[in-house]
């Protein structure tokens, strides 16, 4: 298997899909496993002693809020993608849908990991590993997540490995103009000369989930509020009120950057036709927002 065939397998991971629901299970497990390889650890990883807890934590941090996170699904299903193996798979009973019984994964202390060919290639070809990491991040997460995910899976990319592609220029231009070059939350509007600084165009429903590059799916946000919005620290109500998560807390900046705006309306764009659409807000509440709304 050559490097292009390996790259293609990682780019075509089979993922569960239902409308715009997010399912980052496989990408997060793959990134976690690549991080271990790059640190010289064994290619086979214990499900019970390692993956079950650590992948669940990654899913809680970077995935949508769910009642159950099911880290055993990607651990088992990655076998179907031609990159992963579970040597003791023959010992494991399967459900009617073909998934492993969690009790068997635990009782037999099963391990899984990239097959030997892929493991050796990734360990010996750092450029390929970095390309796959970058591709997975770009395909499944907004740029505001990338650094946090890399830190969580203990991967350090060289500067040249980061993707420098940007969103379509018209989206940023249209959004900043619609909001009169001010943050929709705090009103931040600093410029150097005629150029806005630290002000960004934010998708409400991510492009990765099919969100369009339309003004009604965007907000002008300062760098801080863009990060907080993408990480689910706050969301919007149907009336375009700012709602802070009860999972968010802190001693420095929490009041000033979040609670001072809780239940306040956003700074509306100049035209009503630019107001965010409810469908995109509902997606953000379901797929990105963490916890529950705080009380007043």
> Is there a single domain that holds both residue 194 and residue 110?
no
Domain count, the chain: 2
Give me the count of residues in the chain.
296
> Is there a single domain that holds both residue 186 and residue 143?
no
> Is there a single domain that holds both residue 43 and residue 153?
yes
Last residue of a domain, one of 97, 128, 161: 161
Which domain covers residue 226, as residue numbers? 169-287
- The pLDDT of residue 1: 84
Say if 196 falls within a structural domain. Answer: yes
This prediction has a pTM of 0.84
- The pLDDT of residue 69: 93
Within 8 A by CB and 6+ apart from 275, the residues are: 216, 240, 268, 269
> Is there a single domain that holds both residue 15 and residue 149?
yes
- The pLDDT of residue 174: 93
- The pLDDT of residue 14: 87
> Is there a single domain that holds both residue 202 and residue 129?
no
Say if 230 falls within a structural domain. Answer: yes
- The pLDDT of residue 33: 97
Say if 296 falls within a structural domain. Answer: no
Q: Which residues of the chain have pLDDT under 50?
A: 164-167
Which ranges in 141-195 belong to alpha helices (H)? 143-152, 169-178
> Is there a single domain that holds both residue 131 and residue 233?
no
- The pLDDT of residue 20: 75
**Element (H or E) spanning 196, and its range?**
strand 195-196
Say if 191 falls within a structural domain. Answer: yes
Distance from C-alpha of 161 to C-alpha of 148, rounded to nearest angstrom: 16
Interhelix angle 52-62/143-152, nearest 10 degrees: 160
| 173 burial via Cβ count (<10 Å: 0-12, 13-18, 19+) | exposed
> Is there a single domain that holds both residue 16 and residue 121?
yes
């Amino acid at each position: 298997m050559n490097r292009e065939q390996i790259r293609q397998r990682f780019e075509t991971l089979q993922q569960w899909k239902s409308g715009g629901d997010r399912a980052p299970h496989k990408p997060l497990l793959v990134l976690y496993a690549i991080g271990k390889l790059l640190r010289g650890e064994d290619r086979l990883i214990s499900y019970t002693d390692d993956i079950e807890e650590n992948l669940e934590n990654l899913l809680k941090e970077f995935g949508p809020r769910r009642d159950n996170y099911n880290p055993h699904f990607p651990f088992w299903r990655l076998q179907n993608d031609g990159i992963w193996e579970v040597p003791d798979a023959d010992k494991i009973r399967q459900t009617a849908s073909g998934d492993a019984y969690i009790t068997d994964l635990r009782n037999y202390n099963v391990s899984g990991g990239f097959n030997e060919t892929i493991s050796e290639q990734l360990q010996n070809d750092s450029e390929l590993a970095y390309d796959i990491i970058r591709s997975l991040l770009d395909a499944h997460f907004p740029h505001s997540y990338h650094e946090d995910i890399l830190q969580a899976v203990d991967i350090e990319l060289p500067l040249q490995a980061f993707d420098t592609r940007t969103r379509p220029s018209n989206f940023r231009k249209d959004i900043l103009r619609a909001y009169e070059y001010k943050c929709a939350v705090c009103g931040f509007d600093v410029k150097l000369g005629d150029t806005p600084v630290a002000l960004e165009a934010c998708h409400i429903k991510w492009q990765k989930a099919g969100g369009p590059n339309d003004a009604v799916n965007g907000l002008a946000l300062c760098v801080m509020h863009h990060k907080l919005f993408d990480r689910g620290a706050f969301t919007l109500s149907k009336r375009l009120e700012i709602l802070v998560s009860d999972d968010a807390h802190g001693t420095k900046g929490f009041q000033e950057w979040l609670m001072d705006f809780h239940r306040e309306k956003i700074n509306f764009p100049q035209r009503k036709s630019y107001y965010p659409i409810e469908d995109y807000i509902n997606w953000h509440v379901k797929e990105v927002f963490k916890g529950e709304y705080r009380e007043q």
